[in-house]
A and B are shown apart, each in its own frame.
Chain A
Amino acid sequence: MKFDSIIIGGGLTGLTCALTLAKAGQRTALITAGQSTLHFHSGSVDLLGYDEQGQTVLHPLDAIRALSASHPYHKVDDVAARAEEAARLLADAGLLMDGTTDRNHFRLSPMGVSKPAWLTLNGLVRSAEEDSLPWRTVTFANIRGFLDIPTEFLVDNIRRKGTDVEVKSFTTPELEQARRSPSEMRATNVGKVLADETALRRMVEAIDGLEADGEVILLPAVLGVADARAESSLRQLVDRPIRFVVTMPPSMPGVRLQTCLRQAYQQLGGMYCASDAVTGGCFEAGRLRYVTTENMPDERFYADHFVLATGSFQSRGLMSNYRGVFEPVFGLDVDAADDRGAWTAEYVYDDQPYMRFGVRTDERLLVSRNGVRVDNLYASGSVLSGHNALKLADGSGVDMLTALQAAHNILKK
């Protein structure tokens, strides 16, 4: 099979890149093993939340200029323009998001911590200030017996921001049915149960029956795998303003991001190979000619350009063993410490050195193999070296902006 571009990896990075190339008219294939870290996503895209000293960033574009030379943003030719492009791409995929690059806002984490963000899915709680919410009183209405939102922490931390919280719980016959199996009460399972109209109507009745006192009702974000329709109908039907709080994984907003981007890509005719994995490739004269996959071992996937968007250690885009860190698909050059003792730091929330490990790229995001550049293989997103996404709160931004940059570098050729 022959393509213009092949993207390896189906997370936020791979989908962003594939969608951009497909929009530009390229014949594109995306090969993905399936799950991605979008299943742990907050529903917000960040550009830069904290600077390298750990201080909260309000104006991300300014702060990005001050980042260390190794940061992947320095390989993005116009951060502001790419950010606008990323926002448009999300909107075009049906993902209605709020926020601007001028000033970060704050998303509310499942534990009630305010974290800086650039774009947040419409309907999720957000606020302009880090230490307060825009309401005097709220009602948090949890689903009875749903353990995947840490209610006690959430409520306590909202109260610390000066907002009164009333806690209520509700259930419906459908939810009671789902709970008969103790492992069924996960956000995505609950979302499926509430997907049909009758179930949603009963949920509305249950919430109305709470006689909530808060200015808004906060609910766990369990609705809508593929779109925001269930959330919007709920918000229309309940007689009180509603906002959603993202839950512990699996994250419904994250799954929705993945679904919408995938659908947008497929609607453009992009080929999407799920549950498959690239096993290796054929390199000739400094270029990657084709790749092979697990499910179709006899098929060669040729392309002019390839993008590696396989993620970090948690996604197996990077791997390690007893001896060292490596990139498992092609054995690309990596930036990583040799001595295993230097991979980690003692305290769990210290700045962990392994977070900066990743595939080495040049200024055009081209990778190298045994010290030799591969002229048509780009790397983007979390597989890149050079920054700690947890400390800087810049993971989704790096994913999207470097994916767009790789796409542009390909299209410029």
Chain B
Amino acid sequence: MHRDRQKEYDVIIIGGGITGAGTARDCAMRGLKVLLVEKYDLTNGATGRNHGLLHSGARYAVTDGESASECIKENMILRRIARHCVDETDGLFITLPEDDLAYQATFVASCRKAGIRADIISPEEARRMEPAVNPALIGAVRVPDASIDPFRLTTANVIDARRHGADMLTYHEAVGFVVENGCVRGVRLRDNHTGDVFETRSRVVINAAGIWGHLVAKMAGVQVNMFPAKGTLLIFGHRVNGMVINRCRKPANADILVPDDTVCVIGTTSDRVPFDTIDHLKVTPEEVDILIREGEKLAPDLAGTRVLRAYAGVRPLVAADNDPSGRSISRGIVLLDHETRDGLAGLITITGGKMMTYRMMAEVATDLACRKLGVDKPCLTAVTPLPGSEKPVDKGHTSHRAAEYSTHAQEGRHGTMARTINADSIETRALVCECEDVTVGEVQFAVDKLHVHNLINLRRRTRMGMGTCQGELCACRGANVLCRTARVEPAAAERDLAAFMAERWKGARPVAWGDALGEAQLTATIYEGLCGLNRLCGDGKEIAL
């Protein structure tokens, strides 16, 4: 996109997570000229490394009423504007014999105060609604929690931003600022594929880089004290529970189990980590132990369910006190105008908050940017559906019976946009990934519309390789289809495939016992033994980002 280098933007947004994507959409909808930059792939940071939980806010009701109110408000908005990303599961807050049942009354009162519907139900009723729940429970409250797909949500925001004229550069990292007369006037960008560095100018820069926002601010010479709190989660091989299951007690480790698509996720832990670890987080055996032990208390069936992989993200919390766990800190939204705060005009930081309050974060950041640019346009993101969610998907628009499953899967992933996926020929309907029903046509669609250049992009946009086999055969098929559709050179695609398998192993290794170890050996037998892929990827030990 060399032409972009000459263009002057109104706003450059740093960070391709949900906050950056949402801000790009809001800015573009208000008529600003927008560039969104991301150093690796969309959703590579905390956006792609959380529960995928559309909080009702109940979790925060007792300890942080403000966050709870933000959550329930956004929860209701996202059910409307992002319906193709939301699975309306509802949630339970259960009390186990070891918990204090008296907390339930405080909990329900706080929920109601924050505007969150909270119904006390009997243990029998809870067991009927959610057969996977620990049958020993002594109390249960039903709340409007839900499951949300952060990958789809981010993609939908980016697509809409682009429809409104925004430009986007993935794998482009902000490495410095252009500062003139005490005013930020642009960003120096490095293409992380070529190493090429160039300047792009804008009137305002919004730092929406999550935990990396601390480092971005530092480059501009301003201090934002962020608190890297690592949270580890485990993915189980199938969807054990139909509803979100939480513990009805003060927030603690591993007390939320969320059904996501075909799997379920238990999390999280919370530990302060140094900044130099945030790009390469490692899951420890102790974290895995805690998650399994606590997870089984929510749903005993987890004990016999295969763990697919472990992953960790870093919460972008803004430090306010010296709490070592990071839990009592407000999850509230932090908007910093560095002009009034630090005397540096043209720079805004938007941070704190949660994945599911991204829209509100985008709104306040865009409001401030508009004020600086003298633009007076109202925010419409709360009432304008995202691409894919314009209306419910009408069933049965395809006549190809054999392709029915993949059509349903595509509608789940892309909502109404699935209609543009090519299913005209036998070739385009051929399955690349059988676990997740991804067709050649969907890969083509992802390459054309969803910024897919490599396998990890493809995984995040389509779920290819996320199923129980973790990329056993689909990764190889996908790599070859990308050679043709995205015009990737075979040698680069081979390295990409090896890096993709290395990334899959990184997630599987902390839980490599039982079936997961057997499956890892089988995958190695195919790729290393049968194919010799390890002889095609050099000595760099590259792991896909």
Enumerate chain A interface residues (CB-CB to B < 8 A). 37, 40-42, 109-111, 113-115, 144-145, 147-148, 150-153, 155-157, 176, 179-183, 185, 246, 248-249, 251, 312-316, 319-322, 340-341, 343-344, 346-350, 352, 354-355, 389-390, 393, 395
Contact = CB atoms under 8 A, between A and B. Distances in A.
B402 A147 contact: no
Contact of B494 (A153, A183, A340): A153
A179 B428 CA distance: 11
B530 A42 contact: yes
Interface string B468-480: 0000010011011
Contacts of A42: 529-530
11 contacts: A40-B522, A110-B531, A111-B494, A152-B484, A152-B490, A152-B493, A248-B476, A312-B521, A314-B525, A346-B509, A350-B541
Contact of B473 (A148, A157, A320, A349): A148
A320 B517 contact: yes
Contacts of B532: 109, 111, 113-115
Given A182-B430, A246-B530, A349-B534, A153 B493 contact: yes
Contacts of B535: 113
Contacts of B406: 182
A150 B480 contact: yes
A147 B432 contact: yes
Nearest to A348: B505
Contacts of B430: 145, 147, 179, 182, 185
Interface of B: 285, 292, 402-403, 406, 426-427, 429-432, 434, 439-440, 473, 476-477, 479-481, 483-484, 490-491, 493-494, 498, 501-502, 504-506, 509, 512-514, 517-519, 521-522, 524-526, 528-537, 541, 543
A354 B402 contact: no
Given A249-B526, A320-B514, A341-B285, A349 B490 contact: no
Contacts of A179: 426, 430
- Considering residues B426, B434, B536, which has the most beta carbons from chain A within 10 angstroms of its beta carbon? B426
Contacts of B506: 348
8 A-B pairs with least C-beta separation: A113-B532, A156-B490, A348-B505, A152-B483, A349-B534, A314-B522, A313-B518, A314-B521
Contacts of B426: 145, 176, 179-180, 182
Contacts of A147: 430, 432, 440, 477, 480-481
Contacts, number: 152
A323 B111 CA distance: 41
B525 A144 contact: no
Given A248-B526, A349-B528, A395-B529, A113 B479 contact: no
B493 A182 contact: no
A157 B536 contact: yes
A148 B477 contact: yes
Given A156-B490, A344-B509, A111 B431 contact: no
Contacts of B518: 313-316, 319
Contact of A182 (B439, B505, B519): B439
Contact of B402 (A176, A182, A314, A389): A182
- Considering residues A248, A343, A393, which has the most beta carbons from chain B within 10 angstroms of its beta carbon? A248
Contacts of A251: 530
A282 to B, nearest CB: 28
A182 B406 CA distance: 10
A41 B429 CA distance: 28
A76 to B, nearest CB: 21
Contacts of A315: 518
B285 A320 contact: no
Nearest to A246: B530
Contacts of B531: 109-111, 113, 150, 248
B435 to A, nearest CB: 11
Contacts of A156: 490-491
Nearest to A350: B541
A254 to B, nearest CB: 9
Contacts of B526: 40, 248-249
Given A110-B531, A152-B479, 18 more contacts: A113-B531, A147-B440, A147-B480, A152-B493, A153-B479, A153-B480, A157-B490, A179-B426, A182-B403, A182-B426, A183-B431, A183-B434, A249-B526, A314-B518, A314-B521, A319-B514, A321-B513, A343-B513
- Considering residues A109, A182, A248, A352, which has the most beta carbons from chain B within 10 angstroms of its beta carbon? A182
B541 A347 contact: yes
Given A111-B494, A150-B480, A389-B529, A349 B537 contact: yes
A389 B529 CA distance: 8
A348 B502 contact: yes
Contact of A390 (B285, B402, B440, B524): B524
Nearest to B307: A322
B297 to A, nearest CB: 16
A319 B513 CA distance: 8
Given A153-B480, A320-B517, A395-B529, A249 B473 contact: yes
B541 to A, nearest CB: 4
Nearest to B282: A346
- Considering residues B473, B481, B517, B524, which has the most beta carbons from chain A within 10 angstroms of its beta carbon? B517
A321 B511 CA distance: 10
A113 to B, nearest CB: 3
A311 to B, nearest CB: 10
B513 A40 contact: no
A174 to B, nearest CB: 14
B494 A390 contact: no
A156 B490 CA distance: 7
Nearest to B542: A347
A395 B525 CA distance: 10
Contacts of B403: 182
A153 B541 CA distance: 20
B288 to A, nearest CB: 9
Contacts of B292: 322
- Considering residues B431, B519, B531, which has the most beta carbons from chain A within 10 angstroms of its beta carbon? B531
Contacts of B440: 147
A349 B501 CA distance: 9
A155 B483 CA distance: 12
Given A113-B535, A145-B430, A313-B521, A390 B529 contact: yes
Nearest to A179: B426
A312 B520 CA distance: 12
A11 to B, nearest CB: 12
Nearest to B476: A150
B285 A144 contact: no
A1 B119 CA distance: 63
Contacts of A321: 513-514
Nearest to A151: B480
B481 to A, nearest CB: 7
B528 A109 contact: no
A109 B527 CA distance: 10
B513 A111 contact: no
B516 to A, nearest CB: 9
Contacts of A341: 285
A149 to B, nearest CB: 9
Contacts of B484: 152
A182 B512 contact: no
Contacts of A109: 530-532
- Considering residues A176, A313, A319, A340, which has the most beta carbons from chain B within 10 angstroms of its beta carbon? A313
B201 to A, nearest CB: 40
A42 B526 CA distance: 9
A111 B536 contact: yes
Contacts of A40: 522, 525-526, 529-530
Contact of B490 (A115, A153, A316): A153
A343 B517 contact: yes
Contacts of A389: 529
B524 A110 contact: no
Nearest to A160: B491
Contacts of A181: 402
A347 B502 contact: yes
